[in-house]
Amino acid sequence: KELVQQILTFSRQTEQIQQPLDLQVLVKEVGKFLRATFPATIEIRQQFTEATSIILGDPIQMHQVLMNLCANAEYAMRGSGGLLELKLERMIGEPDGIGAHPDLKGGAYVCLTVRDTGTGMTPDVVQRIFDPFFTTKRVGEGTGMGLAVVHGIVISYGGIIKVESEPGRGTIFRIYFPEMEAANFPEEHSPLHPEVFMGRGHILFVEDEEPLARLGEEAIKGLGYEVMVRTSSIEALEAFRADPFRFDAVVTSMPHITGEALARQLLELRPDVPIILCTGFSHSMTSEKAKAMGIRAFLLKPLLIKDLAWTLREVLNS
């Protein structure tokens, strides 16, 4: 049953609100965010051509694609530091080296390159890198769904993704998206209907990976909430213990054992506090078990912002 739940979560990536999307604007915004959150030992470079970089896409999904790739790059350079390069360029005709992909037609493409100088990968790992649940990270550090989600989104846009990597020589991801012609731009489009997603309240958000913690903070703020971020269960518990009624809800995205233990301690301090537990694939945690513990909602990673938005509204209104 848990496997089915995770596959359903993966399949929800096909729920798209597509619109003309300037990848250059998105990459610049993500670059600013990364500079504020990545270690100073990681240099971030951006390179753009003068050409257009408009595709048809969902801004939330594209943000997810870029953040997943950059988070993997940061992990590969963690400790040793290095260079993260984000590059956009326009290509006409069939892009070099992808002739083996018969589904990709000739024409104009926007190529997004994410390159790091991290640890790199063996050929065996490269072969499996987009498989759901495959991960080289330690237990509790990743679900193995991030790159599978990236691959699914890219394919759903009619694009392809290629990866080059060698141990000790870093990794290069290249994504080719069909360019959207100006003649096809709609006169008006309604992105996300924000009134559906907005809410009020003070949220305690707990996430042990700093880049994801800051991303979650910005996402929750964008939904209209005040948010306090903590990157460890100990810090979160201290903040909650200091004033249990300060928070209207708690969202914990810690590894499932740590997140479960934190939830139990929070509920001991305040039994009625709404808790949303976010976790990767787990044999030991289900939505039924979560509810039996007093947890109001259980979300499987990778998270969609709209799912979190609706769940926050639901637990706060109940």
- The one-letter amino acid at 16: Q
118-165 pLDDT, tens digit per residue, is 999 999 989 888 887 666 655 444 444 678 888 988 998 889 899 999
Residues β-bridged to residue 168? none
- What are the Cα distances from residue 296, in Å, to 9, 250, 272, 280? 18, 10, 9, 17
Distances (CA, A) of 58 to 55, 117, 130, 139: 10, 29, 21, 31
Q: Please name the residues in contact with 243: beta carbons below 8 A apart, sequence gap of 6 or more.
A: none
How far the first Cα of the chain sits from its last, in Å, is: 26
Structure tokens at 237: 């518990």
Cα–Cα distance for residue pair 173/154, rounded to 1 Å? 12
Which CATH number does 194-317 carry? Answer: 3.40.50.2300
Q: Count the neighbouring beta carbons within 10 Å of the beta carbon of residue 261.
A: 14
In DSSP notation, 161-191 reads EEEEE-TTS-EEEEEEEEBPPGGG--S----
Write out the H or E segment, with its range, that includes residue 150.
helix 146-156
Low-confidence stretches of the chain (pLDDT beneath 50): 1-14, 100, 139-144, 183, 187-196
Residue 289: predicted pLDDT: 80
Tell me the whole-structure pTM to 2 decimals.
Answer: 0.57
Domain boundaries, the chain: 16-182, 194-317
Fold of 16-182: Heat Shock Protein 90 (3.30.565)
251 burial via Cβ count (<10 Å: 0-12, 13-18, 19+): buried
pLDDT value of position 169: 92
CA separation for the pair 301, 71 (Å, rounded): 15
Q: In the 3-class helix/strand/coil scheme, how is 257-279 assigned residue by residue? A: HHHHHHHHHHHHHCCCCCEEEEE
